[in-house]
Chains A and B, each alone.
Chain A
């Protein structure tokens, strides 16, 4: 029988949650790397037992852990992330130049085809790649060096490259997103890049429609229609149907269009999910009610999904990498909260159940659908 494996990164370690295809009964393994911040774990689409984990600490820096057996055992691999050439400067919070300094890996995106090739999005924002299973990492410096880098600035969480999408149809096409710089596209496997932020409006920058400077929180695509992108921006939910060349707002009837994650249903490319958060200074759901919103029309028209979710006195947040969808039918959707709950829906969001309630604050959730 098929099954699912959830890879959960938290402020104090990693957890692996597994279930069969019914997704009713879960086994919890962990904490792995107890006491360390695990920003992200992700498995290779080409070899589901090959996992990569970003293990970080304010004291001890960055470690990269690799598992070849689905998370049962782990081995530290290369952790040198050296910027290419003289790093130069980006903008600091007050607009002054600030030198690029590596802090941590926010996100790993394994290649669609090769378990040894992985992209890493880091803070201060840059894209790295390994082609030897994590032993060595090399910057794809065309992103940071294409020209707008000196104008990038950190968001409240730091200047992080947090989203990496690979186009499954067009070879070499990739997207990344950076807070607070915006979205970028490469059509040659990451060698050269251009900003793709036309249509975004951000009031926190002097020119609200500037080429860069937008605090993009997350972008997502569906494998069957990779030219259509969905974005949760700092404020605003956006959509592009031309590979990011232009964006339009699809926030519609959301109670607030601030939030962090955005997901696309595994089998319905026009069904998308967000978790509205009250505001950028109040990182909790409106009215103390934790609601996932689903649109079956690719945006604008949204319905609240509340069954099984707390509808009073709930003041948690759901971070940008803390949601994921499986590819079973019906589609499963999962998210973790800063309160340590991981919620699962085995019916595309109609109803929800907490798998675990008391983990450390959840930083990331990835799901693997296993044969």
Chain B
């Protein structure tokens, strides 16, 4: 199981109260996790990455294991601690606007 931590507004939109647990088949990458997330929660399509270009939205960051993974290639493997469910893959809204 992969754990994904969502920002408050996306938890509200997805109607979940906590981190979401996902099954990811194959290599655990950023793209695979987001594919699984959007398959389970279709209302999140377009909120984290653009639906047409598949690029991360500009004010979204990806953190895990105290690292900023926002600029890692979408198909790069995520840290083992994320892949085994020990640490969450964190979707974070960038601080902007004061």
Query: Footprint of B on A, CB under 8 Å?
Result: 35-36, 57-63, 76, 79-80, 82, 102
Contacts and interface: CB of A to CB of B under 8 A. Distances in A.
B52 A79 contact: no
Contact of B9 (A60, A62, A76, A102): A60
A197 B52 CA distance: 34
Given A59-B9, A59-B60, 10 more contacts: A57-B9, A59-B57, A60-B93, A61-B46, A61-B47, A61-B57, A76-B43, A80-B51, A80-B52, A82-B51
Contact of A80 (B46, B57, B60): B46
Nearest to B97: A58
Give the secondary structure class of A's interface.
Answer: loop
A36 B7 CA distance: 13
B13 interface: yes
Contacts of B36: none
Nearest to B50: A61
A106 B89 CA distance: 33
Interface in B14-65: 43, 45-48, 50-52, 57, 59-60
29 contacts: A35-B8, A35-B9, A57-B9, A57-B47, A58-B59, A58-B96, A58-B97, A59-B7, A59-B57, A59-B93, A59-B94, A59-B96, A60-B9, A60-B47, A60-B57, A60-B60, A61-B47, A61-B50, A63-B13, A63-B46, A76-B13, A76-B43, A79-B45, A79-B46, A79-B51, A80-B52, A82-B51, A82-B52, A102-B52
B90 to A, nearest CB: 14
Which of B7, B9, B48 has most A Cβ within 10 Å? B9
Interface of B: 7-10, 13, 43, 45-48, 50-52, 57, 59-60, 93-94, 96-97
B39 to A, nearest CB: 15
Contacts of B59: 58-59
A80 B57 CA distance: 14
Contacts of B47: 57, 60-61, 63
Given A57-B9, A76-B13, A62 B93 contact: no
B42 to A, nearest CB: 8
Which of A35, A59, A61, A76 has most B Cβ within 10 Å? A59
A194 to B, nearest CB: 29
A101 to B, nearest CB: 9
Contacts of A79: 45-46, 51
Contacts of A62: 46
Contacts of B48: 60
A256 to B, nearest CB: 31
B95 to A, nearest CB: 10
Contacts of B57: 59-61
Nearest to A58: B59
Nearest to B43: A76
A60 B12 CA distance: 12
A63 B43 contact: yes
Contacts of B7: 59
Contacts of B43: 63, 76
Contacts of A76: 13, 43
Nearest to A102: B52
B94 to A, nearest CB: 7
Nearest to B51: A80
A35 B8 CA distance: 10
Contacts of B52: 80, 82, 102
A60 B6 CA distance: 12
B80 to A, nearest CB: 29
B24 to A, nearest CB: 22
Nearest to A77: B43
Contacts of A57: 9, 47
